[in-house]
Structure 1
Amino acid sequence: MDMILTDEQELLLESLDELMERYGTEEYFKECDEKHEWPQEFTDALLENGFQMLGVDERFGGTPVDVTTLMLVAERVCKNGAPIYVYGNLCSLKDMTEFGSPEQQEQCFAEVMAGRPGFVLGFTEPGAGSDSSSLATTFKRRDGKVYLNGSKSFMTNACNSKYMLCVARDADDDPNDKANRSKFSMWWVQLHDDEGNLMPGITIDPLEKIGWNMGNTCEMSLNEVELEEKDLVGVEGQGFIQAMVNFEVERVLACAQSLGAAECVYEDAVRYATQRIQFGKPIGNNQLIQEHITEMYIMIENMRSWVYGCAAKIDRGESVMVDSACAKLYCGRSAFEVCDKALQIMGGIGYTKDSRVSRIWRDQRVYRIGAGTDEIMIHIAGRALQKPFKN
């Protein structure tokens, strides 16, 4: 897809490139990855220069932009070698800007403006991954209070989030009743006090992962966690619908990040192929290496078409239910294949931690799982694509 950028978009990306030359070096990210530390200096720089607040309404201190511009920035962040997951979390803040009370919004954006996550989304559970209707965390009213009980899993940045947006079902509802299968509510839960201590009834345990070493991913237990009625977010019983409000944009954002990561490793691999001498000539002169490079290029350009085709539709107000699922499926698979080919071209050096290709290869694999598995994307698209032919 031939992208013609506006002058404003060109200047925005040039500014981002300059910022990353200073704060987003590979040496810095390598150190953070090895130490399993969040790249705070880099994300602070993004925030201070307005990038983390792109797409957020002005009344919350943000800068409204179209979805296409958000995707351009996400792509460029990852193309410049940043961890794929450090940009774009603000897409999830739409749950708070759309449904949060003034007090909840104030608390959320106070965290954001301090360079911390606004909240962690408490949705996935040990028994409820792709099958969200199996969500078992409950809330129950008693003596004028509300009490949460249950478990959450795969919660990104729960260790350093002060708040959680928790999705739970009413303990008095029968989960076997079809009318209640997707009847959930959202609750605003404080996880840590001002000193960083866990609130009563909450335990958090980090998970060891293959990749994403700079961010924590956690399991959480909720045991009689006490809330007030004012902690309800939005409309009771509409939590599932509220959580879905931005899923399609988030899927396309994941695709833009995958596109950027693929471009990053592609450039590293092609540069290596032109400089690595074996048998008296660059390995890029060999036809099999040229085949890898050509296939990588084709996949990257196809990914670009999916990302910006979807973004353009969203900006026009068109539905991307099918397209976002197909894009997520294609980009998740293709970006990892590009990473794998890049590692193959670079050989042994690509498999070492001296090469950022190995870090991006590890980080990219989860995008066939997170934000909707390949199998669920196929189900969403396959079911919808058949619908017009059933009559």
Structure 2
Amino acid sequence: MKRIVIDLENLSEKDIEFKKEIDEIIASEVAPKTQDMEDGKISVWDVLEPLGKKGLLGLRYSKEFGGRGGSYLQEMLLSEALCYESLVFDMIRGSSTYPASLIRTFSKDETLGKYVKPLVTGEKKGCFCFTEPDAGSDLSRMKTIYEKDEDGDFILNGEKRFITNGSVADIMVVYGRNGAFIVESDRKGFEMLEEYKLMGLHGLNLGHLKFTNVKVPKENVLFYRELQSSTEGSQKKRTSAISSMQQFLGPERVGMSLQALAVAKRAIEIVIKYSQERIQFKRPISEFEGISFKVAEMVANYQAGKALYEKSARKAHIPAVAAACKLFIVTSTHKICDDALQIMGGIGYTNKYPVERLLRDIRLHRIGGGTDEIMKHIIQKDIYKGFNRQVGKGAEKKVDFWF
């Protein structure tokens, strides 16, 4: 089936040419290998490393660092194209190059060439370490900590769990209660405890990592704040460190929404084609309203999600905007995939069609990046806070829903 990308209006000639190039690369170098990756015959990096040589892993980085100096719109087109084939490709691509973004944001210039270019080109694999066994959504329970030694360097202790690309990463950005540092995986004291086997997203490397007295040179600091001795001071500093990370969560959640839209689009395309070819009672099942109405609902939810994404992408820094975007689009996509499988019946439950894989894969998006329940918590908190802030004595009660 010919891939139809998310139709973004008013593409420039340059973007149209880029889109054509991406379509050709996906068709010739990615799509033929998707099932082999799903079956464990090849690694996801067998697919991604050639893309790195083409400057596509870190597309928006300059050519100096191994990218193309591409635009945000081109990044969206690339993300959609990869996710149309498999979420795994874009999740690994993003997780491996994300540390480069943090390094570029927080570190000094001399560090950039050492770490950023190898991550952008795919020469080195990266990961971002945040989640812990006791600290999922409750970041205040984070235990990983950096302590200064007599040389002015730092000693890292702690564990990180569910780390995408964690089992193969060469360069890690590891978050602790009091800071974040660049940590190479060949340092003494680092241990990969487990690589998780997943319900879906086959090919995704998800690791449980342990750091025991790992020495990290002071040059590797991205940011660091000493914890004060008092409980109040420690909590204040810990909250400050966590807040510095939370500025990146909104764009991540909106990005996950775009990934989900690509999955929804593919599921819809598959079921539209199938429902017109499947004959029952002497006519295509698409002529039965029980089927066609369900498809109509799928398309309506997709279009609503697309509109929400395009608006949210401009305000991803607002926590409730990003949360609402992720909540609606990801849950809608999950239902779209489930409905697609239901329409296809028994054959949809087999691997003859990718629908069963799409359903398994999208399920993690309702957990990773913040669960559905956490998204609802963020939204309602902002609603009430904003409402109470706006309402003065005798003022008309109204709520500005961020848009």
TM category (shorter chain) comes to 0.7 to 0.9
Give the Cα–Cα distance (whole angstroms) in 1 for the partners of residues 126 and 292 of structure 2: 45
Query: Structure 1 residues 329-338 or 304-313, which shifts more?
Result: 304-313
Tell me by how many angstroms 1:7 deviates.
2.2
- The code of the aligned residue for 2:192 comes to T
**Which aligned pairs between 1:157-236 and structure 2 lie closer than 5 A?**
157-169=165-177, 184-192=178-186, 199-236=188-225
Q: Is the 8 A contact 1:122 1:164 kept in 2?
A: yes
Cα RMSD of the aligned pairs, angstroms, is: 2.3
- The residue that corresponds to 1:364 in the other structure is 362
Q: Is the 8 A contact 1:185 1:235 kept in 2?
A: yes
- The code of the aligned residue for 1:95 comes to L
- The residue that corresponds to 1:342 in the other structure is 340
Q: Is the 8 A contact 2:57 2:121 kept in 1?
A: no
- The residue that corresponds to 1:123 in the other structure is 130
SS in 1 for 2:214: strand
Tell me by how many angstroms 1:297 deviates.
0.3
Q: Is the 8 A contact 2:125 2:168 kept in 1?
A: no
| Matched pairs, number | 367
**Are residues 1:108 and 2:115 paired?**
yes
- The residue that corresponds to 1:46 in the other structure is 51
- The residue that corresponds to 1:55 in the other structure is 60
- The residue that corresponds to 1:296 in the other structure is 298
Query: Structure 1 residues 123-132 or 83-92, which shifts more?
Result: 83-92
**Which aligned pairs between 1:21-170 and structure 2 lie closer than 5 A?**
21-25=27-31, 27-35=32-40, 37-57=42-62, 59-81=64-86, 83=88, 85-89=91-95, 90-91=97-98, 93-115=100-122, 118-144=125-151, 145-169=153-177
Q: Cα deviations across residues 257-287 of structure 1 (Å, max 9, x unaligned)? A: 1000110111111111111112221111111
Determine what percentage of the aligned residue pairs are the same residue: 26
Gap change, CA 1:293 and 1:342, over 3 Å in 2 = same
**Which aligned pairs between 1:265-280 and structure 2 lie closer than 5 A?**
265-280=267-282
Give the Cα–Cα distance (whole angstroms) in 2 for the partners of residues 67 and 368 of structure 1: 25
- The code of the aligned residue for 1:148 comes to L
SS in 1 for 2:57: helix
Tell me by how many angstroms 1:135 deviates.
0.3
Q: Is the 8 A contact 1:147 1:226 kept in 2?
A: yes
- The code of the aligned residue for 2:9 comes to M
- The residue that corresponds to 2:231 in the other structure is none
**Which aligned pairs between 1:6-21 and structure 2 lie closer than 5 A?**
6-21=12-27
Q: Is the 8 A contact 1:158 1:204 kept in 2?
A: no
- The residue that corresponds to 1:332 in the other structure is 330
Q: Is the 8 A contact 2:250 2:319 kept in 1?
A: yes
Unaligned runs of 5+ in 2: 1-6, 227-239, 390-403
Tell me by how many angstroms 1:129 deviates.
0.3
Give the Cα–Cα distance (whole angstroms) in 2 for the partners of residues 227 and 348 of structure 1: 54
Q: Cα deviations across residues 333-373 of structure 1 (Å, max 9, x unaligned)? A: 01111111111111111111222111111110011111111
Query: Structure 1 residues 217-226 or 231-240, which shifts more?
Result: 231-240
Give the Cα–Cα distance (whole angstroms) in 2 for the partners of residues 230 and 16 of structure 1: 38
Give the Cα–Cα distance (whole angstroms) in 1 for the partners of residues 164 and 246 of structure 2: 18
Q: Higher RCO, 1 or 2 (CA under 8 Å, sep at least 6)?
A: 1
Unaligned runs of 5+ in 1: 170-183, 194-198
Gap change, CA 1:302 and 1:249, over 3 Å in 2 = same
